[in-house]
Amino acid sequence: MSEQTAIKFSDLNLSKPILQAVEDSGYEVPSPIQAESIPPLLDGRDLLGQAQTGTGKTAAFALPLLSNLDLSKKTPQVLVLAPTRELAIQVAEAWQTYARHLKGFHVLPIYGGQNIGIQLRQMRRDVHVVVGTPGRIMDHLRRGTLKLGDLKTVVLDEADEMLRMGFIDDVETILKETPNERQVVLFSATMPAPIKRITSRYLTDPVEIKIKNKTSTVSTIKQLYWKGKTFHKLDVLTRILEADEFGAVIVFVRTKSMTVELSEKLEARGYATTPLNGDIKQDLREKTINRLKKGSLDIIVATDVVARGLDVKRITHVINYDMPHDTESYVHRIGRTGRAGREGTAILFIPPRGDRMLQSIERSTGQKIEPLKLPSSQDITDSRIARFKENIVNAANNNKLDFFETLITELTEESELSPTQIAAALSYLVQRDRPLVEKKGAIPDFAFSSKNEGRNEGRRDRDRQRNDRKRGERKERNFDDRNDRKNQDSRKRKPKKNTGNKDDVPMTSYRLEVGSEHGAEAKHIVGALINEAGLESQYIQNLKIDAMHSTVSLPDGMPKDIYKILHKTWVSGQQLKLRDLSRNEDRKFNNKKPKTNK
């Protein structure tokens, strides 16, 4: 894809609800695999795509297939086969995101190791899209609980991985169970002989798309990553800006609204910052770039499309505050620094479950991205004090201060204050809004450590996935009935109160709009609270799961940003819609006034 891409999503004939979801998700221009795949898939053509993970292929097939769905039908119309439970969950979440404006849409992830009783209940909920691993799909077909008579499309995602894991026979068996007149979409990074055999046997006159791995990065760019919770990101970004000597910085986010929101937060912390997005007029955009070049502006918060082709010599740092949608976007982003032989630094923020994209970027660029070691609170404090002292010495050596010396002498005589006391008071007034000592808050230094949240965790995830593959999903089928009984028994028991809250933190009760009828278990809810809000387990207490909702006790005084994240978090196909029971009302996160009954 060139620096300036002519094609927009609005040119691809996607339905209006899907286009709205694309805009909400922060996409501005399609990646190459999306631009080439969406038109033939909208036309119902079979498709054979060769592309690596991280090229945006999930959206490439999900967006057009969602546009073609008939929501009036009550049985599955799309079946997506994925090699691992992790990918199945990830793909299902993506479908849910893209379908956010489709009323009544349901997607169901099914995979080995999950309670099959829960899956059976969810099957009765007018499911339109099923995303599953081959072993569990086969299990449902044998039980007669998955009906494929109305299936319009089958998607084989990462077909070569399914071959490597020994699922290729199951894949062929499933394909034989699908209607003759159906669309088949196959994506694979490589094309070994068994995959070619499937394509020739089950795909009819397919459109063939091959995305070459052209992405590369220059050696003058130092690439680092930080892995952690969403609500730590602003503090981490601030530490980076305080710790590193920088010229100009581009901070990349996904959405237009986030450029404004983050820019305002950085301005409040004392940084000269401005947003740059597609809604900003060309003349204002040019003025912003000129300010960046001249040094009257240090930081811009931008979306991908407006920063393409940007060449400013002062740019020393590129911060990927939000992960890019694909590897090519990553390369375009960090290419704003390290140009013409100059050195630059690129920092990638990844969420706790972002290892897959990190690995894709490394494979695509052929370069290792090292964990970022952030300074401690004490390091930040020492740095602030050193700069403060340096500024005072420079001011004393480079300015005529006779008038102010006279004022201090008069004030000393009038107030009986010593010069040291007056200097301390002046220092306080100057630094009142930005203390020299970093505030000791709820976020400890270890929360910023890549040592704790970096490659070790990713390695553990990969080891666990490798062990899962060795065992195979077939072995898990034998435990389903036993798991059914165990989970039913655990729901009958009252949850134990968590007494591990050593700090005696005040707690507040919250209602969550997800329950056992949606397939939610304690591990799903607790996992979401830990991953999305960064809460430690001892601060998640009194969890009770009812049929259609749950209640839980969480620390009192939850920040609005965290409340907002949890309000929109999805668990078992339901948004949590967190509600503070002590207030008996929902917090609002937009500018719309709540409706009242007159």
State yes or no: pLDDT of 360 exceeds 60: yes
pLDDT at position 447, please? 47
Q: Is residue 568 part of a domain?
A: yes
Q: Is residue 462 part of a domain?
A: no
pLDDT at position 93, please? 87
Could you tell me if 263 and 306 lie in one domain? Answer: yes
C-alpha distances in Å from residue 306, one per residue of 3, 277, 336: 11, 6, 12
State yes or no: pLDDT of 264 exceeds 60: yes
- Residue 54: pLDDT band by 50, 70, 90 thresholds? low
pLDDT at position 214, please? 54
Higher local confidence (pLDDT), 449 or 170: 170
Higher local confidence (pLDDT), 466 or 12: 12
- Residue 304: pLDDT band by 50, 70, 90 thresholds? confident
pLDDT at position 255, please? 84
**Interval 529-539 mean pLDDT:** 75
**Digit-coded pLDDT (tens) for 427-440:** 888 887 777 776 65
State yes or no: pLDDT of 341 exceeds 80: no
Name the domain boundary from 349, 371, 393.
371
Could you tell me if 304 and 404 lie in one domain? Answer: no
Could you tell me if 367 and 427 lie in one domain? Answer: no
Could you tell me if 329 and 415 lie in one domain? Answer: no
pLDDT at position 364, please? 78
Could you tell me if 168 and 29 lie in one domain? Answer: yes
Task: Tell me the two tokens of residue 151.
Answer: 């299936």
Name the domain boundary from 431, 454, 472.
431
pLDDT at position 575, please? 86
Could you tell me if 359 and 270 lie in one domain? Answer: yes
**Digit-coded pLDDT (tens) for 377-425:** 777 788 778 888 988 898 888 888 889 889 989 899 888 889 899 889 9
Q: pLDDT over 70 for what percent of the chain?
A: 82
Q: Is residue 502 part of a domain?
A: yes
Domain count, the chain: 4
Tell me whether strands 370-371 and 579-580 are parallel, antiparallel or unpaired.
Answer: unpaired
CA distance 388 to 7: 50
**The tokens 């655990």 sit on which residue?**
490
Q: Is 214 exposed, middle or buried (0-12, 13-18, 19+ CB in 10 A)?
A: exposed
Q: Is residue 546 part of a domain?
A: yes
CA distance 260 to 170: 49
**Digit-coded pLDDT (tens) for 402-413:** 898 899 898 998
Task: Please state the φ and ψ torsions of residue 303, each to the nearest 5 degrees.
Answer: -95, 165
What is the domain-level CATH number for residue 571?
Answer: 3.30.70.330
pLDDT at position 439, please? 62
Give the 3-state secondary structure percentages of the chain, helix then strand then coil, rounded to 5: 45, 15, 40
Could you tell me if 69 and 150 lie in one domain? Answer: yes
Q: Is residue 450 part of a domain?
A: no
Order the strands of the 299-302 sheet from edge to edge.
273-276, 299-302, 248-252, 315-320, 344-350, 221-227, 370-371
- Residue 371: pLDDT band by 50, 70, 90 thresholds? very high
Q: What is the CA radius of gyration of the chain?
A: 27
Q: Is residue 105 part of a domain?
A: yes
Could you tell me if 187 and 296 lie in one domain? Answer: no
pLDDT at position 450, please? 44
Task: Tell me the two tokens of residue 76.
Answer: 């599955």
State yes or no: pLDDT of 352 exceeds 70: yes
pLDDT at position 89, please? 85
State yes or no: pLDDT of 27 exceeds 70: yes
Average pLDDT across the chain, whole number:
80
CA distance 409 to 393: 20
State yes or no: pLDDT of 11 exceeds 60: yes
State yes or no: pLDDT of 317 exceeds 90: yes
State yes or no: pLDDT of 173 exceeds 70: yes
What spatial distance separates the first Cα and last Cα of the chain, rounded to whole Å?
A: 56
Instruction: Give the length of the chain.
Output: 598
pLDDT at position 505, please? 66
**Interval 262-273 mean pLDDT:** 88
pLDDT at position 550, please? 93
pLDDT at position 348, please? 95
**Interval 223-249 mean pLDDT:** 86
State yes or no: pLDDT of 469 exceeds 80: no
State yes or no: pLDDT of 172 exceeds 90: yes
**Interval 559-582 mean pLDDT:** 83
Residue type for position 594: P
Could you tell me if 58 and 80 lie in one domain? Answer: yes
Q: Is residue 475 part of a domain?
A: no
State yes or no: pLDDT of 152 exceeds 90: yes
pLDDT at position 84, please? 84
State yes or no: pLDDT of 202 exceeds 90: yes
pLDDT at position 428, please? 86
Lowest mean pLDDT among 20-29, 197-206, 453-462, 561-570: 453-462
Residue 422 sits in which domain range?
A: 377-431
Nearest to 138 by CA among 96, 89, 79, 189: 79
Could you tell me if 355 and 390 lie in one domain? Answer: no
Q: Is residue 440 part of a domain?
A: no
Task: Please state the φ and ψ torsions of residue 232, each to the nearest 5 degrees.
Answer: -85, -15
Could you tell me if 73 and 200 lie in one domain? Answer: yes
Query: 496-531 burial, b for 16+ CB within 10 Å, e for fewer?
Result: eeeeebeeeeebeebbbbbbbbbbbbbebbeebbbe
Lowest mean pLDDT among 157-166, 499-508, 544-553: 499-508
Instruction: Assess contact for 88 and 133: CB atoms under 8 A.
Output: yes
Higher local confidence (pLDDT), 114 or 205: 205
Instruction: Assess contact for 498 and 554: CB atoms under 8 A.
Output: no
What is the domain-level CATH number for residue 93?
Answer: 3.40.50.300
State yes or no: pLDDT of 582 exceeds 50: yes
**Interval 160-175 mean pLDDT:** 90
Q: pLDDT over 90 for what percent of the chain?
A: 27
- Per DSSP, the three-state class of 49 is strand
pLDDT at position 456, please? 42
Could you tell me if 84 and 171 lie in one domain? Answer: yes
pLDDT at position 497, please? 38
**Interval 342-352 mean pLDDT:** 89
pLDDT at position 461, please? 43
